[in-house]
Amino acid sequence: MKLQISKWLQNLGIACSIASILTLFYRLSDFSWVTKSVYHIPVFFVCIFLISIIIADDVRNLFKKLFWYEKRKVKRPIWQVGIGLIFFLAQISTVMVFNQELTYPQLGGMPLFLVFAFMNAFILTVIYEEVFYRTSNQ
């Protein structure tokens, strides 16, 4: 049961990242008319998010094959990096699409939302590991 919830959460994070990044690219291009919003939610984001949910499991499995996850003796470090990256990208891309005004404050020249996203990703990875990794792999 926990393994299924873990995969579902990972797939949601991947789908959110894909949809947000594609929406951001279209918003910055000449095709910005594609990203019209309804109640501050871009319609393009919703469409791409639904498609991304379908392909997220394949994307996750592709990266596992790409980094030889199943062949590694010690899987924990690459697992932590993968989960942390999912959390980090999902936060950054969501801020870029839904709250662009949060991208302006800076901390010593670095956008503050990147600092918070990194700290949140670290904390979420530790919490996620305590909930899912230990019970499914030990």
pTM beyond 0.85: no
For residue 39, how many other CB atoms are within 10 A of its CB? 4
Tell me, what's the pLDDT at 77? 80
Tell me the per-residue pLDDT of 54-110, one tens digit each, with 9 for 90 and over: 999 999 889 888 888 888 888 778 888 888 899 999 999 888 888 888 888 888 888
Q: pLDDT band for 135, please (50, 70, 90 cuts).
A: very low
Predicted pLDDT at 134: 62
- The CA dihedral of 63, 66, 67, 69, to the nearest 10 degrees, is 70
pLDDT at 123: 93
Percent of the chain at pLDDT > 90 equals 28
Pair 113, 90: CB distance under 8 Å: no
Instruction: Please name the residue ranges forming H helices in the chain.
Output: 2-28, 43-66, 76-98, 112-128, 134-137
